[in-house]
Structure 1
């Protein structure tokens, strides 16, 4: 026989309680998700920590703000010619020097001995050349004397032949004596002709040899002068007048040939050297103008040199400063604007700010007319200069834009502004 089991009161309410708990958990989760989504769409931000700028309309100057360093336009380097030991430092760095003024005294024993040896060799060779020239001159004079002797002998024989022929007709001399005189005369005439030909050839050869000897003598003298100049170069002098901006020498140290000792800067001639990011390498050209701020005035200078070698993602450009610019020193830093275009066009302008690093210029937060909230808005920005971005679309003059950093609310679409 079956027995009826009666449920107790606690167990009767367990299942309904569990169902109610599950429903509450689901509802709480849905509420949490909705709340989080709403937080992603809007966010409350303190207005005091924001920078709000107004969009304006004005002339846009397509320029890049840079800072350059003043360097001398012309620099003359001081290098050693032969090298040697530093005996004396005759002037200090930073002094104005005149052309030809002694700066450093070097000594080089080997060079001095070499010059002395060369002088002895040159003297010996020059003496040899002079002796050769003297011998050639003596030979020429001897040949002239031989010609005179032959001509005299011919003259005597001609006279004797005439006399002998007259005596032959009278029978006072034999025919053999007359023939002998005639043969002797002809022989001397032949000798005279050969001697004249020899004289012509020797004169021609002597001219060539004398010219060669003179060239050799000049070359030897030139070599000797060169050696002496090397000796004179042991005293380093200023090649031009200017400021001795560098002088790297100490008494007692040795300098190798070709070592850089220092440099001289030509005064009152300067240029501005500027480092630019490699991004602008294709945008810069020779002749492009720079507006340089100095002493409360703006100087205009043209780009004269572009060094396209990229080092550490940067390259160098140079612009010559106007002659006679006062108050400028080597190494001084100056602010400038590199003008990519000389034309100034009317445009909608947005002041520059830190927002660009977050949005990349693709969107901004625009403050509403009531000033209580800011709406995220898509924009398109163009060129930029020191102060402004060029607005191509999305904003109009009079709009107020948050231009400070968006790092804390970059995922929001609406900002609720509180004081």
Structure 2
């Protein structure tokens, strides 16, 4: 008779095996996740340079253009269409030379209307002055007549007084002549006081009228001068440039038709990258190469307004200007930002467009390891090393576009 053997419970064994597998996978994942990310590259694909101690000079190189030292804009004061052109672009002009004539019928009509109105006001003021003078003349005539009557009454009174004292004239007749004299005297005093008050009033009115006439005359003169603004003339002597007006073209008031270059020396103007905005100052010196000779220049003006990532700088020549300069010539300017100093440096390379001066790959025994660094100033040839590298260490300076997430690079031949 067969014996039934009880079946062993293998559940615990299965659980143990599964646990070991899970632990193994977790450990492998942790190892893969924490180990440095490595990339293999060929030596020919990268550029390796040493870290070295050099005389570092902080400077910047940019292109500058020769411009006249001084230029004056030729502005249109009265807007309108171009009716006549008297000179061409590039012509030499003297101060006051007619350049163009602008025509605007509406403005010209307004000028005529204003001129007519001012002349009418001047005429009215002159009529008012004439009326005051006539009034004074009439009062003067009246005063002469009254003084004549007074003098006649005075003579009659004096005569009658003598006759009365000699008892030839009756008292009644005597008193009549005295009353006539009193009347004429009072009449004369009244007209004299009236004339005095009238003169004071007229003097004030004439002063005000004369002031108004002065203003009117000045306004008329200004108006007539403004009519001359239709003729655009050269404000200074020099060479006309940037003059591109066409007959019939409508020009707005305040628009610059061109400019006049005053030919009394030249300067250099340049657009410089905004990175150097806080590094360039007036008075800093540099040099250019012209006809195989080095010529010193100096920063004289900085326009800090940034356009398209650049700002404008003006420079002048130190000492005597080189002969043969012409407007439009361009030169490479080397502008010194600081003197030479012994500094730890690395050659400039495309690596920094990605690294941004925060890290670099240091090469040792065919392996490049990512290392945090701090870079300082720069010139067209070198970066200054502030921290993180030592002299004679080898670094990769070629582009890092493929190394953004890489910690180690294995270099093969």
TM interval, shorter chain, is: 0.7 to 0.9
Instruction: Please give the alpha-carbon distance, in whole angstroms, between the structure 2 residues aligned to 1:416 and 1:145.
Output: 124
Query: Does 1:388 pair with 2:382?
Result: yes
2:211 is aligned with 1:221: no
Structure 2 counterpart SS, 1:81: coil
Match of 1:287 among 276, 282, 298: 282
Distance 1:181 1:126 in 2: 53
Query: Does 2:399 align with 1:405?
Result: yes
Aligned 8 A contact 1:285 1:303 in 2:
no
Partners of 1:109 and 1:294 in 2: CA distance = 55
Q: Which residue does 2:13 correspond to in 1?
A: none
Measured at CA, do residues 109 and 319 of structure 1 come closer, stay the same or move farther in structure 2, by a change above 3 Å? closer
The alignment status of 1:108 with 2:104, answered yes or no, reads yes
Partner of 1:321: 316
SS of residue matched to 2:399 = coil
After superposing the two structures, state which structure 1 stretch, 324-333 or 79-88, moved more.
Answer: 324-333
Q: How many residues are paired up?
A: 374
Runs of 4+ in 1 over 6 A off after TM superposition: none
Q: Residues 55 and 348 of structure 1 are in contact (CA less than 8 Å); yes or no, is this contact kept in structure 2? A: yes
- C-alpha deviation, 1:354, in angstroms: 2.4
Give deviations 1:356-400, integer Å, cap 9, x for gaps.
3455442234466xxxx4654634432221211112345444445
Q: 1: CA distance between counterparts of 2:41 and 2:205?
A: 106
> Whole-Å Cα distance in 1 between the matches of residues 72 and 196 of structure 2?
58
Which of the numbers 179, 183, 193 marks the counterpart of 2:179? 183
1:90 paired residue number: 86
CA–CA distance in structure 1, aligned partners of residues 232 and 367 of structure 2:
73
Matches within 5 A, 1:219-258: 219-258=215-254
Greater mean alpha carbon deviation, residues 64-73 or residues 87-96: 64-73
Contact 2:368 2:411 in 1 (8 A): no
Listed as ranges, the gaps of 5+ residues in structure 1 are: 1-29
Task: Tell me how far apart the structure 2 counterparts of residues 395 and 223 of structure 1 sit (CA, whole Å).
Answer: 78
Q: Deviations over 1:142-188 (max 9, x none)?
A: 33333333333333322322221221233322212111111111112
Greater shift in the superposed pair: 246-255 or 174-183: 246-255
**After superposition, what is the alpha-carbon deviation per residue over 1:68-88, rounded to whole angstroms, capped at 9, x for unaligned?**
455555443333323333222
Written as runs of structure 1 = structure 2, the 5 A alignment for 1:319-398 is: 319-322=314-317, 325-326=321-322, 328-330=325-327, 332-337=329-334, 339-340=336-337, 342-361=338-357, 362-366=359-363, 373=366, 375-376=368-369, 378=371, 379-398=373-392
Would the alpha carbon gap of residues 315 and 41 (structure 1) be closer, same or farther in structure 2, given more than 3 Å must change?
A: closer
Are the aligned partners of 2:66 and 2:266 in contact in 1 as well (CA < 8 Å)? no
Match among 266, 270, 278 for residue 267 of structure 2: 270
Q: Do the aligned partners of 1:303 and 1:317 also contact (CA within 8 Å) in 2?
A: no
- The one of 132, 148, 151 equivalent to 1:136 is 132
Distance 1:134 1:359 in 2: 91
Q: Match of 2:43? A: 45
For 2:180 and 2:304, the matched residues in 1 are separated by: 91
**SS at 2:269 equivalent:** strand
Partner of 2:242, secondary structure, is strand
SS in 2 for 1:321: strand
Deviation at 1:109, TM superposition (A): 3.5
1:268-293 per-residue CA deviation (whole Å, 9 max, x = no partner) reads: 3435242433x555x34753625253
Q: CA deviation at 1:305?
A: 3.0
d(CA) in 2 for partners of 1:322, 1:200: 75
1:21-80 Cα offsets, whole Å, 9 max, x none, are xxxxxxxxx9xx99xx9994765423xx55444433233223344444555554433333
Contact kept, 8 Å, 1:276 with 1:317, in 2: the verdict is no
Partner of 2:297: 300
Following TM superposition, by how much is the alpha carbon of 1:207 offset from its aligned partner in structure 2, in angstroms? 1.7
Which residue does 2:54 correspond to in 1?
A: 58
